[in-house]
């Protein structure tokens, strides 16, 4: 009740206690008539359990397409993905069932459009196989050409395809999958882990959708500790960008540097993002993040032929 008085004005319930009680009870009844599930607590407080059949929001076609785009773009591993997905789920709860179905169709069309925007030339057979495995929740096997392999030879990967993600900065479409097996010139090995595959680097030869079905839930992603310092010119106004879902911004030290602690399930993307701060960010932990940052910095020193 106090929140309503602050947002709407004191006249929303008035000063008469008995009249305010009746108005509050009438508001709760109206919510329940609309199909909203609420629990009423003490002191004129109520707790929203579910919107039920109440759909207070109706979106335009452009807005529906925007929601579909965000759902596709902010896949797990993307900055603030969990927070964005929770917000979008709230929006989906607000809109009619027919519009929710329309978002599903829009997401399918969007995947086709994103492939057109991808700067890679994605083979049609690759598009078809990835779509089939993704939609039918089945394992996928393909040859992948990674620039990280010094011999330039492709490796054959067997994966569980869980998500499709378009990176708006790199302008490439990625398959976010759980890697099961890899085979190549040195034999076959099994080191299950999450990996993002650029669709343009999946070779069309011998790509196959396997009969094996995916489990009900994706494997849990490893969480990596992050600890870094931001220079005073970055944090001087007290506003620090929240790049991670699990993130704490600590008070500045005597020189104005701000310490940030966080956790991420995509260490590579996190370090690449922190590199964007340049000399205004120093990674001090966790161990894996610090090691990866040091390797990047040393590589740049060699690139510019500076003493380490």
User: 244, 266, 277: which is closest to 174 by C-alpha?
Assistant: 266
Q: Is there a single domain that holds both residue 131 and residue 208? A: yes
**256 CA to centre of own chain:** 31
Q: How far apart (Å, rounded) are the C-alpha atoms in residues 63 and 69? A: 10
pLDDT band at 127 (very low <50, low <70, confident <90, very high): confident
Instruction: Check whether residue 136 and residue 170 sit in a common domain.
Output: yes
56 inside domain:
no
Asked if pLDDT for residue 50 goes beyond 70, the answer is no
| Residue 18 or 52, more confident | 18
Contact indicator for 142, 154 with CB cutoff of 8 Å = no
Same domain, 209 and 131: yes
CATH number for position 242:
3.30.70
pLDDT value at position 125?
93
Residue 308 lies in a domain: no
Domain boundary among 176, 192, 213: 213
Tens-place pLDDT, residues 58-108: 888 888 888 888 877 776 656 667 678 778 877 877 888 788 777 776 766
Report phi then psi at 149, rounded to 5. -90, 115
- pTM for this entry: 0.58
Judgement on whether residues 137 and 107 belong to the same structural domain of the protein: no
Is residue 275 within 8 A of residue 293, CB to CB? The reply is yes
Alpha-carbon gap, residue 101 to 98, rounded angstroms: 5
> Is 218 a domain residue?
no
Residue 296 lies in a domain: yes
Check whether residue 199 and residue 237 sit in a common domain. no
Name the nearest CA neighbour of 106 among 55, 139, 162, 59.
59
Do 44 and 6 lie in one domain? The reply is yes
The whole-chain average pLDDT of the chain stands at 82
The pLDDT value given to residue 284? 95
292 beta partners:
none
For residue 46, what pLDDT band results from cuts at 50, 70 and 90?
Answer: confident
pLDDT(304) > 80: yes
Structural tokens at position 280 = 């205004």
In a shared domain, residues 228 and 297 = yes
Say if residues 92 and 100 touch (Cβ distance below 8 Å).
yes
The whole domain housing 143 covers 124-213
Domain count, the chain: 4
Q: Are 174 and 165 in contact (CB under 8 A)?
A: yes
Partners of 179 in beta bridges:
159, 193
Q: Is 293 part of any domain?
A: yes
98 and 164 both lie in a single domain? no
Please check whether residues 135 and 161 belong to one and the same domain.
yes
My answer on whether 290 and 238 are in the same domain is: yes
**Of 117, 133, 159, which marks where a domain is finished?**
117
- Residue 219 lies inside a defined structural domain of this protein: no
CB 255 within 8 A of CB 272: no
250 inside domain: yes
- What pLDDT is attached to residue 230? 93
* 37-41, 117-121, 196-200, range with the lowest pLDDT: 117-121
| Nearest one of 243, 303, 231, 248 to 267, comparing CA atoms | 243
- Residues 14, 72, single domain; the answer is no
Single residue among 213, 244, 279 that ends a domain in this structure: 213
193 and 141: one domain? yes
For residue range 254-264, list pLDDT tens digits in order: 888 999 999 98
User: 172-210: per-residue pLDDT in tens?
Assistant: 888 999 999 999 888 888 889 999 999 999 999 999 999
Could you tell me how many residues make up the chain? 308
Q: How confident is the model at residue 290 (pLDDT cuts 50, 70, 90)?
A: very high
Half-sphere exposure of 39 (CA within 13 A, CB side): 4
CA angle 47, 49, 54 (to 5 degrees): 110
Q: With 60 as the cut, is the pLDDT of residue 113 above it?
A: no
């Amino acid at each position: 009740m106090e929140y309503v008085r602050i947002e709407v004005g004191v006249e929303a319930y008035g000063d008469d206690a008995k009249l305010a009680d009746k108005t509050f009870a009438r508001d709760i009844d109206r919510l329940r008539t609309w199909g909203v599930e609420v629990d009423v607590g003490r002191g004129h407080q109520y707790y929203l359990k579910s919107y039920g059949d109440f759909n207070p929001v109706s979106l335009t076609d452009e807005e529906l397409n925007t929601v579909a785009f965000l759902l596709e773009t902010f896949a797990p591993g993307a900055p603030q993905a969990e927070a964005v997905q929770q917000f979008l789920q709230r929006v989906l709860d607000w809109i009619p069932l027919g519009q929710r179905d329309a978002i599903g169709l829009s997401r399918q069309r969007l995947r086709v459009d994103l492939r057109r925007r991808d700067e890679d030339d994605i083979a049609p057979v690759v598009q078809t196989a990835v779509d089939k495995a993704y939609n039918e929740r089945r394992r996928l096997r393909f040859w992948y050409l990674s620039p990280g392999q010094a011999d330039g030879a492709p490796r054959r990967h067997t994966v569980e395809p869980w998500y499709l993600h378009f990176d708006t900065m790199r302008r490439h479409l990625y398959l976010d999958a759980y890697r099961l097996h890899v085979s190549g010139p040195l034999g076959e090995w099994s080191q299950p882990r999450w990996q993002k595959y650029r669709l343009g680097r999946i070779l069309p030869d011998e790509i196959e959708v396997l009969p094996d079905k995916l489990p009900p839930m994706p494997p849990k992603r490893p969480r990596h500790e992050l600890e870094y310092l931001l220079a005073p010119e970055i944090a001087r106004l007290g506003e620090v960008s929240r790049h991670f879902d699990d993130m704490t911004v600590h008070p500045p030290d005597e020189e104005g540097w701000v310490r940030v602690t966080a956790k991420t399930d995509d260490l590579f993307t996190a370090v690449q993002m922190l590199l964007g701060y340049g000399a205004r960010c120093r990674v001090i932990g966790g161990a894996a993040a610090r090691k990866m940052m040091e390797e990047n910095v040393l590589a740049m020193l060699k690139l510019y032929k500076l003493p380490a």
